[in-house]
Every structure is written in structure tokens, then in C-alpha cells.
A = this chain, B = another copy of it.
Amino acid sequence: MKSDPKEQKGWSQLWLKYDRKRDNGNGNYFERAAVQGFDCEDRVVRSALKELSHGVRGMLGRTVEIIALKEPDGFGKSGERVEPSASSDASLLIKKAEGTERGIRPEGYAIREEKGRLTLEAADEKGLLYAVFHLLRLIAMERGLAGTDILCCPDNPLRMYDHWDNMDGSIERGYSGRSFFFESDQVIVDERTRDYARLVSSVGINAVVINNVNVKQAATWLITDRYFEKAAQMAEIFADYGIRFFLSLNYAACMELGGLSSADPLDPEVIAWWQGKMKECFEKIPNLGGFLVKADSEGRPGPFTYGRTQADGANMLADAVRPYGGIIIWRCFVYNCTQDWRDRKTDRARAGYDNFIGMDGDYHENVILQIKNGPMDFQIREPVSPLLGGLSKTNQMLEVQIAQEYTGHQIDVCYLIPMFKEVLDFHTYCRPEADTVADVISGRVMGNQNAGIAAVCNTGNDENWTGSDLAAANLYGFGRLAFQTSLSAEEILEEWIPQQFSADREVIDTIKKILLTSRETYEKYTSPLGIGWMVTPHEHYGCSVDGYEYSRWGTYHRADHLGIGVDRSDQGTGYALQYHEPNASMYNSMETCPEELLLFFHHVPYNYILRTGKTLIQHIYDSHFEGVEEAEASAAAWDTLEGKVEEKTFRLVQERFQRQLYNAREWRDQVNSYFYRKSGIPDEKGRDIY
């Protein structure tokens, strides 16, 4: 097996670069590996073993000899020796776990070291792949493997990346170049497809949606002969890495492709068309997992057009994919996007719950509702959606976004794992205990398997995949968190930084500090206390305090000369009451509402005294000055890494920091000036406000 960590492909290998590491005695475990209970010809096993050889050669300079035990038709074709002998002389034993002994559940694995010998035991082929990546991660982190004793099983059944790639090659909300899945209405399958699959499977991703949820033009045709062949080729590569292949679906495809006059989910013609189409899809794309659907949202067609419910629409499709083990992931991002800003009764935050709670229990078993973490749209701070845990009889999946649409466009640093942790740890009070969002979406609350977590992905065809090298922390971190929810944001960085940058302690600590403070820094210099928005319309980067204030999007701050915020209490839109108690009461009262969300739930006078003893207006001024100072400190910290990280990376991130500082100062000055001009209340500290 070849291994060439230095090969030049035009794109980086991120955390799989496998450059030489300190051995720490680890090399000895990779003299000879024996494989037992796995078919070495299995596609996933092959990928795992290939990765093992590749990683070990790169990081430890060793060539692993791999022996298939009792597998005479096994691995030999690739040239390795095949010996049906005992495994006693192997320094690494790879074996399939029997049953669920030692708690190794599906896709799970154990890694143990005893007496100079490593044992890697996996529940199944995917478990083996994840185990290999875990092992390679430990080597990259320069951890000595002696005494290792690890048991690891994924917390979430579905761990998914949703790509918003369009078939023309553009990416909706993409900040890292163009698509590597599509260009000029063609599907691209090349060596980068495989590297993508390696990268995301290495952090435990087991499902990928390759096209934008807004399915338009050519993308509608992805479920036709025009694209089946290429889609199947890509799906095959994904299958090598245990990744199920998903497509976003145009709900109106039965009209656009099928020529039907309706997309009514109860119309027998529509049902028949979809049944035929799904049969075709699953036959032509063997690794197809199912479909993601955005219906009745932001102009997309859906069952509402025909007076049907969301459940009617989702179930019809789900029934059509059920014979093939397929699932339908149905997005809950349904709201009125042509709202009148003058109307203070309609509240976009209410919409997801109002639209979906009534049909709880009506969805078929292979439908999953995909729910954004907050009720609005991926802002830097939102409360958790009350649908999560609000639904009690429906499969639920959490949707987050690592594409930094509202969080800095991968120019500004914003490590999002701490935010996702908050969401996962949130107590929904859907039952007396084990009631967190993590409990709900893992399937622990309802005992369901069709559950999990998805992230809108942040990749593109930039050399470094994610625009800024620091944004890869989210690409890495989301997968790891999805696999192992208990990992802390810091632990994830302790893993990622040595793999992608350097195991040097100073490098780790510096980058860790930059990233762990980045979300709060970004929050400080942008919109205050959970109010969100205030961004440049359409683009969503940069400040425009009133940018969405008089618009149709339902996104208002309602600032006047006396105060700011949206009253979502029982005196206002009543949104707070969508939560289970005691959350409802907590949010409903200005006194008990967590202050970081104060303006999301309440309209608050500028002279209101916060728990810090500061007035609201002074908090706005102070936090904006602090945010810029913190960003400056992070930029300065990065500067200290010159010569300690690769030159190209150093320069690129340094340049992004300069743009972040410009952006942060604009936000600071525009927000402060806006509120000073509106309130007439000066900064207590007399700093520059314009």
C-alpha cells in the first residue's frame, strides 16, 4: 500500500495530513497487524486498513504488515501476505466484537493496549473505520499508546453534513470557493471526492446531502437518468467510507419532471409517480440513504399549496422510500417570509412550533423533522427552538450551521462548538430527567433510531477547504461532537490542533485560546443580548443595524428612543409560552430571563439595570468596545505563531484577522453610534462614538 503524505493535489489534507510525529514508543505497535472476523475485501474495511497504513507510514515512518486471519480469499489480492495462522505475533490485533460484549454498540469500538500489544475491537465495519481514525488521531497528538483503554460508541444515529451546493458550482452561503460536487450543471467525481469522504468519515460523519435544500434548475434533475450514473459513482465513494448518500428533493418534481398538474400528496397520481421515481432512484444509486426536503419555505413549493399538512407531504414521500430502507428528512424552517414589518402580532420565532406541533405523532416512522437550533436562523445567540423536546412523538434531528452565514463568513474567527454544546445541554423539561436536546436527538428520549444531528457545511474548493484554516475547527469539531456529545469544546481543540497545525504546546494553547473566546468576542461586537440580525441584508456580513428592521423577513429589533427588544412574553407575542415549564416562566419574566437572551424575549429600556449593575445602554457600549479589544488580542496572539505554523497558513489567517478587525470596528462604531444617536445617552467612559 502506498503512502505519500507529501503528495500535492491542489488541496490540503487538513487534519489528515499525517506528517511525521514524535514516536513516543508508538511505532512498535505497527510491526504487524492481524485482522480477525472482518472481510478484508469489504469496502469499508479496505478503506480503514488503507488509512491505517497511510497514516502510520506518514506519522511514524513505518510500513504495517497486515495479515488477514482465516480469510484465505481476503486481503491478499492487494499484495499483502495472507497467513491463516494464529495472531500471537501481531503487535496490533484488529477484530470484530462478538455481540455487544463490553458495551460495543453499532458503529462503536474499543481500543486497548496490554503488554505491548494493541487490540482494536469494533462492532462493525464502520466501527473499525472510526477506530482506525481514533488510533491515528492519538498518534498525531503524540500520545503514547501504552495503557490505552478506550470504549467509544456514537451518541447520535445520524451524523450528517448538509451541503448547500448548487449545480452551477455556486454555494449558497458558501465562503470557501466554489463547489467540489458540481460545476456547470455537472456532477464532479474525482480524487477530491474521496478526500472529502475520508475527512468527514474520520470525524464520524455517516450521512451527507450533496445539494442545496433550495432545489432549482438542473438540481431537480438529479433524480433522473441525466445524473444517476455520476451520482451513483459519488455514492460509491461515500460508501467506501461508511457514508450514506442523500439528495435534497424538489417537492414539485412530480410536476417539473413528471408533467403532473399537481403535487398534492394525497393525489393518487402524485403518489404513484413518486413510488415509481423512488424505485428508480434506489435502484440506480445503491448507497442512497434518502432525501432532505425544504417545503413551503421561502418560496419553495410544498403541501400547503394543496391544503394539505406538512405530515401529508412528508408521509407520502416516506412511504415511497420505505421499501428501500430510505428516510425523509423534512425541514421545519417554515414561516411567513413576506411579513409586514408594521405587524407586531406575527412573530417569526413562533412559526416553527405553530406549524409543526399540531401534527406531533402524525409522521411515519421513517420521517425525521430537522429543526434548526434556534427559532430564527443561525444567529450568534438564540434560545433553543421549543420544538426540540416540544415534539414528543416525532423523530427529531437538530440542524446547526457551520457555514458562517451570520457568524463572520469564515473571515471572522468563530468557533461554534461551544454554542452547539449549549444547545445540546439545554434542558427541555420534556420529561423529569435525561431531557436535554442531546437526549432528544440521540434517540434516548423516545428510543428511536431515526434521529441525529446535521450541520450546514462550510466547505468549498478552496485549497484549505474552509476559507480560513481556523474555520476547519468547526468542520472537524461538529463531526466529533456529533459522534461523542460529551466531548468538551476544549477537548476537541486539543485533538484538532495537533493534527492540523502542530503538537507544539504553545501552538495548541494559542490557537485554543483564540478559538475558545471567539464566539463571545464575535457576539460582543455584533448584535447585543440575543436580538440578532443587524446585518447587511442578503449578504449577512457586516453591520446594518436597521438592515432588516423594515423588511418582510420577520427580523426586527424594534429599537426606539427609549429602548430595544421584542416582547415575546405573554404580554407580547407569547413565544415564551411555547416552552415547557419552568423554561416558559423563566423566559417570560424580564427578571428571570437569562440576560444573554434578554432582548430576544423583552423590550427593554436603555436605562434598565442589568445584573452587572450596568445600564442596558452602557452594556451595549462596553461590550462593543470589549469585542474589538478581544479581536485585537486574538490577532496579536496569532502573530506570535509566525514560524510555528506553515507560512501559507500563517499569512492567510493573518490577512483574515485584518479583515475581521476592520469588520469588528465597523460593527462597534455603527452599533454604538446608532444607539447613541437614538437614545441620546452618552458613554459613561467618554469613548469615541460618532
Q: Interface of A with B (CB < 8 Å)?
A: 341-342, 543-547, 550, 559-562, 666, 669-670, 673-674, 676-680, 688, 690
Q: How far is the CA of A670 from the CA of B556 in the complex (A)?
A: 13
In-complex Cβ contact of A544 among B342, B546, B670, B677 (8 A): B546
Do A680 and B545 form a contact, CB below 8 Å, given A550-B666, A666-B550, A670-B550? Answer: no
Task: Contact check, B561 vs A679: say whether CB atoms are below 8 A apart.
Answer: yes
Q: How far is the CA of A690 from the CA of B678 in the complex (A)?
A: 16
Do A561 and B666 form a contact, CB below 8 Å, given A342-B690, A544-B546, A546-B546? Answer: no
Residues of the B chain whose Cβ atoms lie less than 8 Å from the Cβ of A673: 550
Do A560 and B677 form a contact, CB below 8 Å, given A544-B546, A545-B546, A666-B550? Answer: yes
Task: Contact check, A677 vs B342: say whether CB atoms are below 8 A apart.
Answer: no
Residues of the B chain whose Cβ atoms lie less than 8 Å from the Cβ of A562: 680
Looking at the assembled complex, report how far the CB atom of A558 sits from the nearest CB atom of chain B, in whole angstroms. Answer: 8
Q: How far is the CA of A690 from the CA of B674 in the complex (A)?
A: 18
Looking at the assembled complex, report how far the CB atom of A310 sits from the nearest CB atom of chain B, in whole angstroms. Answer: 31
Task: Contact check, B678 vs A561: say whether CB atoms are below 8 A apart.
Answer: yes
Provide 26 A-B residue pairs closer than 8 Å at the C-beta atoms, listed in order of the A residue.
A341-B690, A342-B669, A342-B688, A342-B690, A543-B550, A544-B546, A544-B547, A544-B550, A546-B546, A546-B674, A550-B666, A550-B669, A550-B670, A550-B673, A550-B674, A559-B677, A560-B676, A560-B678, A560-B680, A561-B561, A561-B677, A561-B678, A561-B679, A562-B680, A677-B678, A678-B678
Looking at the assembled complex, report how far the CB atom of A228 sits from the nearest CB atom of chain B, in whole angstroms. Answer: 34
Task: Contact check, A680 vs B561: say whether CB atoms are below 8 A apart.
Answer: yes
Residues of the B chain whose Cβ atoms lie less than 8 Å from the Cβ of A678: 560-561, 677-678
Q: Whose C-beta in chain B lies nearest to the C-beta of A561? A: B680
Residues of the B chain whose Cβ atoms lie less than 8 Å from the Cβ of A341: 690
Q: Whose C-beta in chain B lies nearest to the C-beta of A341? A: B690
Q: How far is the CA of A669 from the CA of B341 in the complex (A)?
A: 10
Residues of the B chain whose Cβ atoms lie less than 8 Å from the Cβ of A680: 560-562
Looking at the assembled complex, report how far the CB atom of A476 sits from the nearest CB atom of chain B, in whole angstroms. Answer: 36
Q: Whose C-beta in chain B lies nearest to the C-beta of A342? A: B690
Residues of the B chain whose Cβ atoms lie less than 8 Å from the Cβ of A670: 550
Residues of the B chain whose Cβ atoms lie less than 8 Å from the Cβ of A545: 546
Residues of the B chain whose Cβ atoms lie less than 8 Å from the Cβ of A560: 676-678, 680
Looking at the assembled complex, report how far the CB atom of A555 sits from the nearest CB atom of chain B, in whole angstroms. Answer: 14
Q: Whose C-beta in chain B lies nearest to the C-beta of A564? A: B677
Looking at the assembled complex, report how far the CB atom of A394 sits from the nearest CB atom of chain B, in whole angstroms. Answer: 38
Residues of the B chain whose Cβ atoms lie less than 8 Å from the Cβ of A690: 341-342
Q: Whose C-beta in chain B lies nearest to the C-beta of A676? A: B560
Q: How far is the CA of A364 from the CA of B581 in the complex (A)?
A: 82
Residues of the B chain whose Cβ atoms lie less than 8 Å from the Cβ of A544: 546-547, 550
Q: How far is the CA of A670 from the CA of B680 in the complex (A)?
A: 21
Of A341, A547, A673, A678, most B-chain CB atoms within 10 Å: A678
Looking at the assembled complex, report how far the CB atom of A188 sits from the nearest CB atom of chain B, in whole angstroms. Answer: 27
Q: How far is the CA of A670 from the CA of B548 in the complex (A)?
A: 12
Q: How far is the CA of A673 from the CA of B556 in the complex (A)?
A: 13
Q: How far is the CA of A262 from the CA of B438 in the complex (A)?
A: 64
Q: How far is the CA of A543 from the CA of B561 in the complex (A)?
A: 20
Of A543, A550, A669, most B-chain CB atoms within 10 Å: A550
Q: How far is the CA of A437 from the CA of B678 in the complex (A)?
A: 41
Q: How far is the CA of A542 from the CA of B561 in the complex (A)?
A: 24
Q: Whose C-beta in chain B lies nearest to the C-beta of A562? A: B680
Q: How far is the CA of A678 from the CA of B545 in the complex (A)?
A: 13
Given contacts A545-B546, A550-B669, A550-B673, 12 further A-B contacts (CB under 8 A): A342-B688, A342-B690, A544-B550, A546-B546, A546-B674, A550-B670, A560-B676, A561-B561, A561-B677, A561-B679, A561-B680, A677-B678
Looking at the assembled complex, report how far the CB atom of A679 sits from the nearest CB atom of chain B, in whole angstroms. Answer: 7
Q: Whose C-beta in chain B lies nearest to the C-beta of A343? A: B690
Q: How far is the CA of A396 from the CA of B341 in the complex (A)?
A: 47
Q: Whose C-beta in chain B lies nearest to the C-beta of A669? A: B342
Residues of the B chain whose Cβ atoms lie less than 8 Å from the Cβ of A546: 544-546, 674
Residues of the B chain whose Cβ atoms lie less than 8 Å from the Cβ of A676: 560
Residues of the B chain whose Cβ atoms lie less than 8 Å from the Cβ of A669: 342, 550
Q: Whose C-beta in chain B lies nearest to the C-beta of A542? A: B550
